[in-house]
């Protein structure tokens, strides 16, 4: 296994950890954020607006974590492209001076 292949495998591992970590944190965030809204709803302080408020709040939180996962994906794609370019450059350097 070449050095760059190991680097790419490490990149994939980190990228997957960030994605799963963001999803786990989002789930915890959603649960914690719902607690005060649930308490207000139980006491009748949100009236008919309870479900709309809860949905809007959950959607906002979801959007933030979706953005984190998207940035993680984009950075991973950029890193993969960079590694591929390095591999191509190494191969080109090996072929310089070889006669056809």
Which 3 state secondary structure label does DSSP give 1?
coil
The span from the CA of 25 to the CA of 68, in Å, is 11
pLDDT for res 100? 65
More confidently predicted of 3 and 97: 3
CA dihedral of 26, 74, 84, 89, whole degrees rounded to 10: -130
pLDDT for res 67? 98
Which of 31, 54, 56 lies closest to 42 in space, CA to CA? 54
pLDDT for res 61? 97
Tokens of 25: 């944190």
Q: Yes or no: say if 7 and 89 are a contact pair by the CB < 8 Å rule.
A: no
Question: pLDDT digits over 16-58, tens only?
Answer: 999 999 999 999 999 999 999 888 888 888 777 778 888 999 9
Q: Yes or no: say if 25 and 72 are a contact pair by the CB < 8 Å rule.
A: no
Question: pLDDT digits over 69-99, tens only?
Answer: 999 999 999 999 999 999 999 989 888 877 6
Domain ranges of the chain: 3-95
């Amino acid at each position: 296994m070449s050095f760059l292949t190991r680097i790419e495998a490490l990149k994939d591992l980190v990228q997957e950890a960030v994605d799963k970590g963001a999803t786990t944190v989002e789930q915890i965030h959603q649960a914690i954020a719902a607690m005060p809204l649930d308490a207000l709803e139980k006491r009748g302080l949100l009236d008919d607006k309870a479900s709309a408020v809860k949905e809007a709040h959950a959607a906002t939180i979801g959007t933030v974590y979706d953005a984190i996962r998207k940035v993680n994906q984009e950075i991973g794609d950029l890193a993969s492209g960079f590694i591929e370019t390095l591999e191509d450059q190494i191969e080109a350097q090996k072929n310089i001076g070889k006669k056809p």
